Amino acid sequence: MTYFEQCLAAGPWLTPKERQALYAYLLDDKRRTYQEYARLLLERNNFSNQIANGEIRYLINQNSATYEIRKFGDANYSAVIRELKLPRIKAIRIAKLIRLFAQAEVETIANFPVLDNFEHELNSINFNKYPFYDLNYYSKGKGRFLGFVKKLQMRDAETLAKLRTL
């Protein structure tokens, strides 16, 4: 079993550093897939995909993208998890959507792991207040400049290396 498969099974037991490393791994490993997803989403204004034991539905309304998640096979999606404002320039839109897709997949893995042997208490979805693509995540909401500095200092090369090995 690869470390990525272990992450798919661990779900809510992944540490914040492991989730951040998983985000970086997904951004790198699935970049071309995410580019294709972005093109489809921009074309159709909605798109769905699956990862671990969850489904993600992306929607575009005017100049913003949102996503909702649900456990595979459930009838209803959660409320909107995140909303991302999209600029008019297509290349920047695609770059932002790529980061949104990686964030959504990490949060879906964390909430609906492959081996879902536990009941979700109160039927809730857990997610970070700030997404990994926002510099406020690294500064815990104390500003983007401080977040930039902390992001440069914060590297989990060990976990990322485990994810990249087969």
SS3 161: helix
Q: Is the pTM of this model over 0.95?
A: no
pLDDT per 10-residue tile (average), the chain, 166 residues:
86 88 92 96 95 95 93 89 93 95 94 70 64 72 74 67 69
The separation between CA 114 and the C-alpha centre of its own chain, rounded to angstroms, equals 16
Count of CB atoms within 10 A of residue 1's CB? 7
pLDDT given for residue 122 in this prediction: 38
pLDDT given for residue 152 in this prediction: 67
pLDDT given for residue 57 in this prediction: 96
- CA distances in angstroms from 42 to 31, 90, 156, 163, listed in the order given: 16, 9, 33, 30
DSSP class of residue 42? Answer: H
SS3 56: strand
Output the CA angle 105-111-81, nearest 5 degrees: 65
pLDDT given for residue 133 in this prediction: 76
pLDDT given for residue 123 in this prediction: 58
- As a whole number of angstroms, the distance between CA 31 and CA 77 comes to 25
